[in-house]
A and B are shown apart, each in its own frame.
Chain A
């Protein structure tokens, strides 16, 4: 569970996140909103790349803002980025191993843990191929594999479905849905593809111009007239 309290982030004169107070419960949560709503900024605050002007952020009772950025990964916070971050020069196995060895103490069981994560995302057959030789869909799954290896507590996924065809997004959704049960981590998913959010997330928060517009069970939030108006114009959600 992540609790954000009175969070404000400013870049010069632009207020990117404005007095946001919200709680992400355990399980899989969506974070949606139009471009520039502050979704990625919120992720960057959680990762430690951006210092907020005011506010408190705690995850499972621990103060995230008090930890240095690299130490948050060791605490159990993982994330993917909008741009591809799997390392082309390394194999899938080494990509996942690189995350595991920097976030988990002790060498015991590391092979098993790395192979489990690769199996979870369904890349077992290419585990020892170089990432540079993989398809875009597979590379995206490598990043999810990097995010779930070991014992993560919070997995932040920043538009994992961007640029993927529908069929491939479905498979990605199936992988994301297994994370809370099989890995034991909560998931926060930033995504523009509403079908992916609906398929994966029981709970969703909506940001608009840096403010919290709505939050609650996904189905209710997506029916909220305020959300429809701000985020999607007047169109009905499919």
Chain B
């Protein structure tokens, strides 16, 4: 039985440097990440947090790999009771330039079988990365209704 793993690839007309900034800058992330702000000093071993607009932390983990503008990896898990038995899983971003495009591949792995958090992130990432692509290409993020993700439970 294979462990659940989520892989998502998208192509964005941008540069690896701009995309790297978009993935690591708190102000920028807030624009496309359902209003969440990523907080970290982006050093290996440092803490990684997603901060809601009211200042509370929704998800937390730590930085595993930082190699700008090519590879970024961190772990995190949502802190709500719904996921209280779950461990932080590893999200790795790989940025590869192809001419005017950057191929962004996200792999999110390390979930236990039957993980509810896995089910949640599988719905969340396509929305977040679609919004990121729109923001970089058109200057406007997508305001995706959170309830549209149809989270279970």
- Do A and B bind? no
Chain A contacts to B: CB under 8 angstroms: none
